[in-house]
Amino acid sequence: MRTVRHDADTATMDRYRRFLSSGRAALGEMFGADIEVASEGAWVHTSTGKRLLNCGGYGVFITGARHPRVVEAVRRQLDTNPVATRLLVEPQVAMAAEALVATTPDGLNRVHFACGGAEAVEAALKLARANGKRRVISMVNGYHGKTLGALSVTGKPMFQDPFQPLLPGVTHIPFGDTEALEAELALSQGDACVIVEPVQGEAGVIIPPPGYLAEVGSLCRRYDAFFVLDEIQTGLGRLGYWWAAERDAVTPDVLLAGKALGGGVLPVSAAIATDAAFAPFDRDPFIHTSTFSGNPLGMAAAQAAIAAIRDDDLVWRARWIGELLREEIEEIMLDQLGGAVREVRGLGLLIGIEFTVDGLAGEMLLELIEAGVIANHSLNSDRVLRLTPPAVLDHREIEFLLEAVERAALRVRPVRAHGARGRAGGPPEEPSYHKVTGGQQRQVSPPSPHVEGGAVQ
């Protein structure tokens, strides 16, 4: 079907070029110049009438877009007190802090709210400094944001080089390497802060060896280091657990949250700290502040998002749907692209497809959009395509996603994937989900989370 462009679409692209980033405009044109105008649940709608399954958003949409519970809470707050004076105390921020703390490992009792994830990272780095830790140990290819402090610990020279010099005293070591970490901590003499992601999302969904986080926590205690666990992308159910900290039984000094915390409606992030780590912010309430920190509108969204994740069993659903999708996508990709695919990996609904062929991740991204699915590239790994679907997917949406993945793989195969297994030569066939499941359609409706005994994990 021919896409019909409207004058308003052309005007939007022109405004991007004139008033925003011309590079961003060029990127938008590369992705088809679609203008997104509405969203609901797992779907994004464009001005040309396209309906796209949103498996992107960099981890924001665990609840889907415009979850009714979040929208209702925000509308209610908008009609009463959307932005606080910052002089008087206000109830929404206190209730949001209580709700957030209730989801975290024991001992993480104090909260500093912000808007973007990088702001939460900045708060954590300042807490480390205020607790006497002047050196920072981060991980190669880690991603923590692009404000000056967060950029200093983001382990990618491409983003850092234009802004040097950054914070002094930052060392990057290989992710997953506890021997390298111990060597650095031994040199630090109790003066270190360690910041790490449980899974490196922007590096291409890199999963560390089993027990890695627990060993990081143990080493930090042994060498009196300040431990910051960045779960801005992985927390609040994305990995099939409320937090990777819970999965690995660790309690950092500061746990970072964001992305999903605003319920896909408003930007909200947070640094959740132990009482001891938070003490400098306790002593002086003006030492680290922000005009919109803990704004009532965002706090209403955060409370509703936490309630929706809990009451809709989204943590359990992320685990179940993620396991199904990884298995099926791996079968599709290996069948259609063979040796052009290095690995399909992930935890919960953070899934990475790594290719062995340069440019194939970008081509798959474009073909997925053509097939009706939004995915993500990986900022620190140009060979990895990421999928971060919402946990609200139903069985029809799961089937749609799998058919789109097969269609996209078929479209890129004749161009780039030489030597792939499966069908060879000729034009790409139209995919069928029945081909993926051996002739019989798999049951993709999740059973009740309570069927196999016990509460949802």
List the one residue out of 288, 270, 293, 305 whose CA is nearest residue 117: 270
Residues 139, 153: Cα–Cα separation, whole Å: 8
Domains delineated in the chain? 34-63+313-436 (3.90.1150.10), 68-311 (3.40.640.10)
Q: Are 373 and 52 in contact (CB under 8 A)?
A: yes
Coil vs helix vs strand at 341: strand
pLDDT (0 to 100) of residue 6:
66
Q: Which residue has the tokens 């509460």?
A: 455
Which residue type sits at 318?
A
- Structural tokens at position 436: 């993926």
pLDDT tens track of the chain, all 457 residues?
Answer: 445 556 778 888 888 889 988 887 787 777 776 889 999 999 999 998 999 999 999 999 999 999 999 999 999 999 999 999 999 999 999 999 999 999 999 999 999 999 999 999 999 999 999 999 999 999 999 999 999 999 999 999 999 999 999 999 999 999 999 999 999 999 998 999 999 999 999 999 999 999 999 999 999 999 999 999 999 999 999 999 999 999 999 999 999 999 999 999 999 999 999 999 999 999 998 999 999 999 999 999 999 999 999 999 999 999 999 999 999 999 999 999 999 999 999 999 999 999 999 999 999 999 999 999 999 989 888 999 999 999 999 999 999 999 999 999 999 986 554 444 433 333 344 434 333 333 344 455 554 443 332 333 3
Distance, CA of 41 to chain centre = 17
Measured from the Cβ of residue 19, the count of other Cβ atoms closer than 10 Å reads: 8
In 162-258 the beta strands, taken as DSSP E runs, fall at 170-173, 192-196, 226-230, 254-257
Give CA–CA dist 49/362, Å, rounded: 24
Contact 53, 372 (CB under 8 A): yes
Tokens of 153: 């610990």
Contact 409, 435 (CB under 8 A): no
Type of residue at 85: T
